[in-house]
Amino acid sequence: MGTAAEMLGVTATFLRALGAAHLIEPKRSGGGHRRYSRYQLRLAARARELVDQGTGVEAACRIIILEDQLAEALRINAAHERQHGRERTAGN
């Protein structure tokens, strides 16, 4: 956790707050140390950006979750559109 906090320029308390808000849930090593994925570190960095802009931690986490859900929905929609485009082309 200390290394992740140092990399992001945040405190361990900040990372714990992100965990409490269910934004990130790190895996645990055999010794009980928190292990963050690159994706979780990107989310934490985004949270820091929002908090630095004056957004509360809870609100920042909710914003990030919604941004992530929107990105996934757009990805699924694009894949769906590509699939239907192929089906229409094959039908002609």
Q: How does pLDDT run across 8-20, given as a tens digit for each residue? A: 999 999 999 999 9
pLDDT at 84: 84
Q: Give the per-residue pLDDT at 91.
A: 64
Considering the entire predicted model, what is its pTM?
Answer: 0.81
pLDDT at 87: 72
* pLDDT interval class at 63 (50, 70, 90): very high
pLDDT digits (tens, 9 = 90+) for 24-61: 999 999 998 999 999 999 999 999 999 999 999 999 99
H-run or E-run covering 35 = strand 34-35
Q: Residue 42: is it exposed, middle or buried by C-beta count within 10 angstroms (0-12/13-18/19+)?
A: middle
Residues 6+ apart with CB under 8 A from 73: none
